[in-house]
Every structure is written in C-alpha cells, then in structure tokens.
Chains A and B, each alone.
Chain A
Amino acid sequence: MEDLIATLKQQIVEQLNLQHLKAEEIGSDQPLFGEGLGLDSIDALELIVLLQQKYGIKLANPAEGPQIFQTVRTMAEFISANQKA
C-alpha cells in the first residue's frame, strides 16, 4: 500500500501539473480538495483520467469522486479494491 501511495503522489503531481510541489511533500492523509492542496473540480476530473489511464478504472459518475479523492490514502485504497488484475 505504501508503495502505491508513493507512486500515486508522483502521478498526482504530474497529472495536475503541481510544479511547485514535490511528491513527498503531499501528506498521505492530507485533504486534497478544499483547504488541503486547494484542488478544484477540474482537478477531480483529471484524477478520474488518471484512474483510467494508469489503473484501468473507469468512473462513470463524477459524483463518486469526492469520496474517493479525499486523500491520497483513500485513493490508494480505492485503487487496490478496484484495480483490474
């Protein structure tokens, strides 16, 4: 899980073009949206793209996003549970 979290942080930095941050600087349990990293609805869509492109998981309903993308850890847990073998 920790490996996945580390990889995910790097992928998030790249997908969202967070040039001002290093992957390690993102807390695993830090809120990604709202106060935390200050991401917005477009970033949520980009994370949906990330899930699909990197992990083959298709999220048809963007409304599911907020729950999954709360923190890097919740994202990693979702991926673990849903990634196609």
Chain B
Amino acid sequence: MRVFIAGKGTISAIGNNCTESWEALHSLRSGIGRITILPTIYADALPAGEIKLSNQELADAAGMDACTSRTALISAIAAKEALRDSGIDIKKYRTGFISANTVGGMDKTEIVYSKYLEKKTDTQLTGVVHHDSGSITELVADVLGINDFVSTISTACSSSANSMMYGARLIKSNLLDVVIAGGVDSMSRFTISGFNALMILDNKPCVPCDENRNGLNLGEGAGYVVLVSERVAKDLGKNLNIILSGYANANDAFHQTASSPDGKGNFLAMTGALKMSALQPSQINYINLHGTGTKNNDLAEGLAVQKVFEKVPHCSSTKCYTGHTLGASAGVEAVYSLLSMEHSTIIPNLRFETQMKELNFAPSTSLIENIELNHMLSNSFGFGGNCSSLIFSKTSSI
C-alpha cells in the first residue's frame, strides 16, 4: 500500500512556515547568525540557526501559553501548518501524532535547575514532571485534537526520520489512517555546552562537505508531514502524487558519537531505503545529505554515498541554511525535499569552496531550476549510530 504525503509544515531559522522557508532557500539566504533569543555566554562565539521569535511570539502563533516549553511551541506551529495544509478533518479518521525530540522541555528544566541548585526553598519545581520528551508531544497532540495514538521517538539526529517511518508503518498495517509525523528541537544551553564539549561546533557559519569544514552550527526548528493511506488520499480528491516510497533504519554499531570510518550504518540505511522503494541508485535525482559540517560525519557519509552511487546525483546539505536542528533535522529536511520536488528546483550548499580529497563528488553550489525531480533521498545520521534514510517519490496521482 502506498503512503501519500497530504500536507507539510515547518519552522526554522529561515522561515516560520513553508512559504517563507522556500523563499529563503530559493534566495540562498542563510538563517545562521548570532544567538539573540537564548541567553548564553556563547551568543557571539558560536553562530546558530535560531528562530528569531520570542517565546511570547511563538506562543501567539501556536495558540498556547507563553510559559509552555519552546520545544512544544515550535512543534505546534509546524504541526498545525501541516494539518492545515492537508485539509483533513481528523475527526473522520483514525489519526496519530508521532513526533520526535531530543531535548524535551530542557529549555525550561535548565532554568529551574539553576534555581534548585541555589537551594532556594521557594523554587517552583512541579513543572519539571512535564519536561520529558513525551509531555511535549502530548501538549501538541492536544492542540491538534489528536487522541487516537501519540508517540515520541528519541534517536538523536535521526529521530524525525524514524517518526515518519513508524507513522508510515502504522498506516500500512491499517492501525491508523492519518499520521502527522516529524520532529522538533529547540535551543538550550544544555545542548550548546554538550556539543561544545565534544569540540564539534564551528565558530563560523558551517561549511558542510568542504575539505576545510570545521564543525556544525546548532539550530532549532520543527518539520512535519501528514502521511495518509491510499484510501484517505483518494477521499481527499486533491490529486496527491507524492509518496514515502522507501525508508530504512540501521545502526552503525561502532561508537556512541563517532561514525565508523567507512560509514557502514549510513550505507545500510541508504541501501535499505532503496531496496524498499525498489529503485536503482541511478533513479535518485537528489540527496539531501545529513551534511552537518563535522569532519567525521561528512567523511563517513561521503564515503558511504560513493559506495551506494556509482554516479552520485545532485546533492546538498540544507544545514548550511538552518544549522543542525538535531531531532528536528529529518523532519525539516523532508519538508525542504518535498518543496524542492514541488518547485523542480535543487537548493545548493552555501559557502562551499573545496571538494573533500577523499571524495569523487561535491555538493551542488548553485541553484538548479526546472529540473525533473522524481525521487529524492534524505539522510539523517545521529549519535548512538542511529542512521536513517527516507525516499520521497512522485507517483501516479490518486
């Protein structure tokens, strides 16, 4: 059974919805810059892809309370856009919300924790019990009015891809008809400190896939797609013609944070997705690379891509624009891949100068318009060796 994409929604440093995001991508405009919303000593030192909206502004857009975790606010905005985009009345169908995040409500926890450490007896701790990843998803499910099933996946940077796969499988097994799937993550000092301790942050705007890359920039955002069964796609009568044709989740089983030198997990994820979609590598028109900008990821991914593709298709990393949105990245990048397909346009890397010496290919460096895009591969590889790849394909309209 084919699983159709009926809607999409996203918010990140480059735009608060799909239209704005596409406009930025098409104009080659990056959202990476000074951190101005999150109070941190690294505001000037570490560029990031921050959404330039305060929590109050996000709350107004989401229709939620301003004291809600920023993670939930961002998630709600993108998920609501996706649902609206689909035009679906979820009361008619068995509907699930499968989200992903790595930080949960850490933006709130870290504030409370500082006060807790000062041992002030009047510190209000009770909110902490609602800062887990699942609570964030529950808040957004409530806003969307979804209560048939909710779940959250937390597998580092591959999280949202796994959400989309889980959602597709739930539909194919006839457990649900409609699934809003994707993920979110928001900026927090916890995350900045963690990545800084791993010494994989670039103190300049990142240059993924470049020989002289120096690390990643963090980002925040959310990206969701609305997955529907064939029956629902037909019901909608919108001539939907894009499906999630293939996907695979593999594990590198090498190290907690580093990819294996030859990118074994990456290779297995890409080949697994191709196998499910019954496509030859030569049929893939574009790869949205995971392309974080770290020495390790870009090499492992590059080598794996070369191994899968005899001739590497057009490819790029949109993290040049948004930074690495962690748990949200697969969701955000799925939406960008779908927008590319819709507009028959390939978005290039930014700031790329030198091809990596180990690789026989380089990412696209200029906009390619009016190009037929039938099959798009999107990679997301995370800590814990969690490697996931998704393939979106054009199919006959339904």
Q: Interface residues of B: mostly helix, strand, loop or mixed?
A: loop
Query: Is B258 among interface residues, defined by CB-CB distance under 8 A?
Result: yes
CB <8 Å contact, A49 and B255 = no
Smallest CB-CB separation from B199: which chain A residue? Answer: A62
CB <8 Å contact, A41 and B197 = no
Query: Is B198 among interface residues, defined by CB-CB distance under 8 A?
Result: yes
Query: Is A42 among interface residues, defined by CB-CB distance under 8 A?
Result: yes
Q: Can you list the 10 inter-chain pairs with the closest CB atoms, starting with the nearest?
A: A62-B199, A41-B258, A45-B199, A45-B198, A45-B197, A42-B257, A40-B255, A42-B256, A48-B199, A49-B197
In angstroms, Cα B374 to Cα A15, docked, is 52
With most chain B CB atoms within 10 A of its CB, the pick from A45, A48, A49 is: A45
Size range of the interface on B?
under 10
Residues in B with CB closer than 8 Å to A45 are 197-199
A39 to chain B, nearest CB (A): 13
Q: Mark B244-270, 1 if CB is under 8 A from A, else 0.
A: 000000000001111000000000000
- Report 12 cross-chain contacts, Cβ distance below 8 Å, ordered by A residue: A40-B255, A41-B255, A41-B257, A41-B258, A42-B256, A42-B257, A45-B197, A45-B198, A45-B199, A48-B199, A49-B197, A62-B199
A58 to chain B, nearest CB (A): 11
In angstroms, Cα B198 to Cα A41, docked, is 10
In angstroms, Cα B91 to Cα A26, docked, is 66
Residues in B with CB closer than 8 Å to A42 are 256-257
Q: 10 additional contacts, CB 8 Å, given A45-B197, A45-B198?
A: A40-B255, A41-B255, A41-B257, A41-B258, A42-B256, A42-B257, A45-B199, A48-B199, A49-B197, A62-B199
